[in-house]
Amino acid sequence: MLKPRILVPALGTAVLLTVAAAGVPCRAAEFGLSATIRAGLWNAGDWELGIGPLGNNTANTLNLSPANYYPDNLPNRFEIGYTSATNSAFVRYYYGAASYQQVAYAAGGAGLGAGSVWTIPAGALFVSAARRPNVQTAVWIDQLSLGGGVQVLQPFSSTTLLALQYNSSMTTPTTSPVSFRTGASGDWLLSGRIGFLGLSAYNPGGAQRSQLQMIANISGVSAPVPEPAVQLMVGAGLVGLAMLGVRKRRRRGMPK
């Protein structure tokens, strides 16, 4: 006597859903920041370090202590970085070999993890020197490098930017995009040196506040994560494939 065969009408649909899932968009988290290091004012209650969401570098600011204010015409180390565990970014100025002041910006929520891709678009990192009559001023950054275990996809075309003015303003931006992929931690670090010339603290009529500054605009996108609906479709497809295997085994054991 023949045993009735069990048909699985949803099987074909499940397999098709699995194949179709590959073409469904995935969800990706994003993070953007704007960071600034500027002349500010020595011992006058104005700020020198600023950071915030993309396009808002004044969301969080810091006034350097008078003793830690910039020297004239002598560069010191700076860092801009991102910490995945806290989904936050910071800008940091070193006034000594291992001593620094910093200000941070936290976006809240889950951070961008391993494999996230970050970009500094062309022109998004720049230095600028505003006109100061009859006083030469300058701001420059050099020795730019990326660290924190990242894979550099597009390197800096130049690791030095200089804006030098005498009776006319000057802005010097990066001319090509920079991009990198984070390692296992999801963290990254952009470091270099920054120097100022002609600050008002040392030169009557010299630069102050934003008349000498560096601005960096950096954004990142996490490695794509499948949407919940896609995950359900894949799961349904896997169940369907498992049922197909059971069905084939049963057929092999059935009498003709």
Q: What is the pLDDT of residues 201-239, one digit of tens each?
A: 999 999 999 999 999 999 999 987 665 544 545 454 444
Helix (H, G, I), strand (E, B) or coil at 247: helix
Is 83 inside a domain boundary? yes
pTM (two decimals):
0.80
Is 6 inside a domain boundary? no
Is 177 inside a domain boundary? yes
Q: Where are the alpha helices (DSSP H) in the chain?
A: 10-21, 228-252
DSSP calls for 169-225 = -EEEE-SS-EEEE--TT--EEEEEEEEEESBTTTSTT-B-EEEEEEEEEEEEEPPPE
Is 97 inside a domain boundary? yes
pLDDT of residue 43: 86
Q: What's the domain count of the chain? A: 1
Is 38 inside a domain boundary? yes
Structural domain range at position 218: 27-225
Is 238 inside a domain boundary? no
The pLDDT tens digits for 240-249 are 545 545 455 5
Is 43 inside a domain boundary? yes
Q: How many whole angstroms separate alpha carbon 110 and alpha carbon 84?
A: 8
Is 134 inside a domain boundary? yes
What Å distances lie between residue 10 and 205, 231, 241, CA to CA?
Answer: 80, 17, 11
